[in-house]
């Protein structure tokens, strides 16, 4: 029992000693003097300056961290306007779907416009007789016959026909026979030549009934051969050639 009391007294003394040790620094005051203040010297200070081209160096796109929304032009606003109309009509759930439909429509229209332009170009290269520029009658021949029409009365058709017949150019030969016929009738006063007139115009000018019937038949042969998209056989060509030569000689 005495030992136990002695042990408890020892623990109590140790506790008091530890408590005094912990509370002692709080009661002590720390005092600083002027000597304790560290003063920097001018030698230890180093002046740092920014580079003059610093702004240019960091002005590239890599150092731009703000994402700018591109400005909308008139075309973008027009597409958005169409997209809103399509969305309201078809009740699409999102603007993205309506914009896809609008882009499809615009692309389709663009393709149709291109096709129409190509059609106009193709139509423009057609000669006035309706033959393709690269068809059976070449552009060179069409142009030459047009020039002959403008200078009908100065043209030597016998010489031209000699050249085309020897070259086997059947259609262009029939064209020359027809122009030669018009020249002969104009010289004899049967018709009044005008480059703008048609076969029907000349037909009504012919007073002689037999001559009018002959011209109607030769005009039929000319239209059939010159404008026809078929291979001209030798028999048909010879029949037309004989008919033209017979009428031309009779005038």
DSSP string, 124-189: HTS-TTS--TTSSS-HHHHHHHHHHHHTGGG--HHHHHHHHHHTT-HHHHHHHHHHHHHHHHHHTT
List phi, psi (to 5°) of 188.
Answer: -90, 0
Task: Report the C-alpha gap between 203 and 222 in whole angstroms.
Answer: 14
Which of these, 153, 193, 184, 188, lies nearest to 246 by C-alpha position?
184
Q: Is the pLDDT of residue 239 over 70?
A: yes
In whole angstroms, what is the distance from residue 183 CA to residue 157 CA? Answer: 10
Q: Which pLDDT score, from 0 to 100, does residue 5 have?
A: 53
For the residues 14-31, what does the mean pLDDT come to? Answer: 53
Query: pLDDT (tens digit, 9 = 90+) per residue, 171-192?
Result: 999 999 999 999 999 999 999 9
Q: How distant, in Å, are the alpha carbons of 37, 49, 158 from that of 40?
A: 10, 20, 121
Q: Does an H or E element contain 18, and which?
A: helix 2-27
Model confidence at 57, pLDDT cuts 50, 70, 90, reads: low
According to DSSP, residue 53 is labeled T
Percent of the chain predicted with pLDDT > 90: 35
Smallest CA-to-CA distance from 171 within 118, 126, 234, 213 is with 234
Helix axes 234-250, 209-226, angle to 10 degrees: 150
pTM above 0.85, yes or no: no
d(C-alpha 223, C-alpha 152), whole Å: 19
* Torsions phi, psi for 225 (to 5 deg): -85, -45
Q: How far apart are CA 10 and CA 223, in angstroms?
A: 144
Please tell me the distance from the alpha carbon of residue 184 to that of residue 59, in angstroms, as a whole number: 87
Query: What is the three-class DSSP state of 72?
Result: coil
Tens digits of residue pLDDT in 63-114: 666 666 667 788 888 888 888 888 888 887 778 888 888 889 899 999 999 9
φ/ψ bin of 36: left (φ > 0), alpha (ψ from -120 to 50), beta (otherwise) = alpha
């Amino acid at each position: 029992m005495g030992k136990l009391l002695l042990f408890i007294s020892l623990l109590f003394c140790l506790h008091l000693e530890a408590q005094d040790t912990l509370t002692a620094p709080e009661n002590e005051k720390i005092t600083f003097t002027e000597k304790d203040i560290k003063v920097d010297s001018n030698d230890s200070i180093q002046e740092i300056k920014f580079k003059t081209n610093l702004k240019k160096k960091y002005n590239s796109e890599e150092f731009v961290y703000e994402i700018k929304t591109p400005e909308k032009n008139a075309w973008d606003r027009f597409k958005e306007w169409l997209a809103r109309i399509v969305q309201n009509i078809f009740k699409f759930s999102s603007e993205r779907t309506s914009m896809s439909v609008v882009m499809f429509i615009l692309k389709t229209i663009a393709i149709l416009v291109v096709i129409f332009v190509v059609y106009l170009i193709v139509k423009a290269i057609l000669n006035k007789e309706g033959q393709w520029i690269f068809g059976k009658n070449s552009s060179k021949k069409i142009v030459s016959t047009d020039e002959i029409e403008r200078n009908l009365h100065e043209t030597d058709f016998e010489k031209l026909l000699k050249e085309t017949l020897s070259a086997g150019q059947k259609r262009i030969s029939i064209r020359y026979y027809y122009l030669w016929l018009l020249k002969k009738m104009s010289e004899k006063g049967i018709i009044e030549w005008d480059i703008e007139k048609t076969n029907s115009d000349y037909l009504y000018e012919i007073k002689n009934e037999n001559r009018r019937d002959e011209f109607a038949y030769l005009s039929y042969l000319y239209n059939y051969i010159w404008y026809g998209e078929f291979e001209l056989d030798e028999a048909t060509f010879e029949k037309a050639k004989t008919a033209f030569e017979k009428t031309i000689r009779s005038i």
